[in-house]
Structure 1
């Protein structure tokens, strides 16, 4: 269907006369009549009947009008979804259930008038390339990892240091501990079947394992979080790492335990990455909101891969 003809039809309805519609559309009255005639022919109905005062909708025209308006609204939304300055702020998160998605929810709560388009890209390089090309406006990624470099014109700022916890079943040796130090995990097996080689989270846990002498075991099919919880609950030797902010729900009979890690506390360093010349008006608001809430990284007591490199 010719949306230009549909828009002409709606404009003529609102104006009440083809002459007024022509003025509004900056075309001739003859062009208005021709567009509407073509539309009526395509539909196989008469849309207007002429009166002494101008034109009046026929019954078919009245039936078509709400759908015509909906078509034009859909056209406007489609254009706004990709038009810089009008489309929603498009932000990438690693996962919709993870803490960075919670950061976005907090931003939306503070700025409910801002439209957000949340996407999930797989890896660091893909996300940064999408920022650089303008496909997305920003991404949350860990830049404090070996081999992570940002191209010219792309910047990052830390926005959240996410503490890790040990996650065990009731029979595990650390199940009753109030907290443990990462060094106590030396020689232990940490089961993380979702750690896909080449991903930024796998690189983070490789650095963590090398620093504290533990083993990250990614062997075995990844059947999802429910299977992971079931397996951890029944094991006296398997444990895994979870974020302090990750929401998890499990059956009461599992009796699973979250054990804080201290001295130091490993944190996953999330940064917001954006292109410096991105003109989207909501991007500055997002950056200011996140940096204002970030307390800064303390001098001691935490571990990140960046600190290992600096040392």
Structure 2
């Protein structure tokens, strides 16, 4: 359906005159007549009856009017969705409970007037392609993994190092420890279902295992954090790593323990990635907020893989 013809129809219906609609639309009265005639042919009905006072909508014209207005509103929403000065800022986070989501929530509280679209893209290649194409304005990622260099047209800034906690049930041998070293975790079963080969977090845990001789199992399907907590509560010999900034809720009867890891503390490096030519006006506000309000990175006594970008 020709949207300009629909727009012309709405203008005539609201003004009641072809001449006035032509003036409002900055076109000739003849063009108005041609557009209305074409729309009537497409619909197979008469939309207006000409009178001495101008033009009155027919019964069919009255029935079509609210739908015509909605068509124009939908067209405006569609155009606004791709105009960087009018559409929401689109930001990719890995999951809704993790540290990057928390950082984005803090930004939203500090800048409630900035509209956000939050996406969750699992695959880093998909996320970086989306940033490069402009489908996404920014993504939270750990960048620099082997075989996955950051493309030249993308920029990043490391905004937060999230410490890993050892998470386990009340019957585990380490359940009552106030803290635990990486060396003490050697030989204990650490279960992290859903580690996907080729992801940046997969590369992170590969490096942790290689350096400290840990036993990390990724077997079984990933049914989400709730199922993981159920299993930890019922399996005495099992533990997992959980980001210290990850928000989780579980029944008090589970008696789960969240134990800080030391000597050193493994931290997951969150960086914000964006295209250097992205014109969205809110992107600069997000970068500024993250670089001025987050705790930073590289603290003494922490560990990250050697491939993590330093800035």
Same fold (TM over 0.5): yes
Matched position secondary structure for 1:261: strand
Matches within 5 A, 1:130-145: 130-145=130-145
**Superposed displacement of residue 59, structure 1:** 4.2
Matches within 5 A, 1:22-101: 22-101=22-101
Task: Report Cα offsets for 1:137-156 as digits up to 9, x if no partner.
Answer: 11110015444421212110
Matched position secondary structure for 1:10: helix
CA distance in 2 between partners of 1:72 and 1:58 (Å)? 20
1:222 match = 222
1:268 match = 268
**Superposed displacement of residue 240, structure 1:** 0.5
CA distance in 1 between partners of 2:258 and 2:299 (Å)? 26
Contact 2:90/2:119 (8 A) holds in 1? yes
Contact 1:185/1:213 (8 A) holds in 2? no
Name the CA shift for 1:309/1:162 in 2 (closer, same or farther; >3 Å).
closer
Contact 2:144/2:150 (8 A) holds in 1? no
Matched position secondary structure for 2:68: helix
Contact 1:164/1:267 (8 A) holds in 2? yes
1:249 match = 249
Matches within 5 A, 1:291-306: 291-306=291-306
Runs of at least 4 residues off by over 4 Å:
307-310
CA distance in 1 between partners of 2:115 and 2:59 (Å)? 38
CA distance in 2 between partners of 1:72 and 1:307 (Å)? 51
**Superposed displacement of residue 308, structure 1:** 8.9
2:150 match = 150
Contact 1:139/1:273 (8 A) holds in 2? yes
1:282 match = 282
CA distance in 1 between partners of 2:69 and 2:113 (Å)? 24
- Please list every run of 5 or more consecutive structure 1 residues that lacks an aligned counterpart in the other structure: none
**Superposed displacement of residue 225, structure 1:** 2.7
Name the CA shift for 1:204/1:289 in 2 (closer, same or farther; >3 Å).
same
**Superposed displacement of residue 185, structure 1:** 0.8
**Superposed displacement of residue 41, structure 1:** 4.0
The number of residue pairs the alignment matches comes to 310
CA distance in 2 between partners of 1:126 and 1:269 (Å)? 19
CA distance in 2 between partners of 1:96 and 1:296 (Å)? 22
Matched position secondary structure for 2:56: strand
Name the CA shift for 1:256/1:52 in 2 (closer, same or farther; >3 Å).
same
Contact 2:91/2:136 (8 A) holds in 1? yes
Task: Report Cα offsets for 1:89-108 as digits up to 9, x if no partner.
Answer: 22221123322122222222
**Superposed displacement of residue 228, structure 1:** 1.8
Deviates more, 1:151-160 or 1:49-58: 49-58
CA distance in 1 between partners of 2:17 and 2:97 (Å)? 54
1:5 aligns with 2:5: yes
Deviates more, 1:206-215 or 1:76-85: 76-85
Q: CA RMSD in A?
A: 2.3
Deviates more, 1:55-64 or 1:99-108: 55-64
Contact 1:49/1:58 (8 A) holds in 2? yes
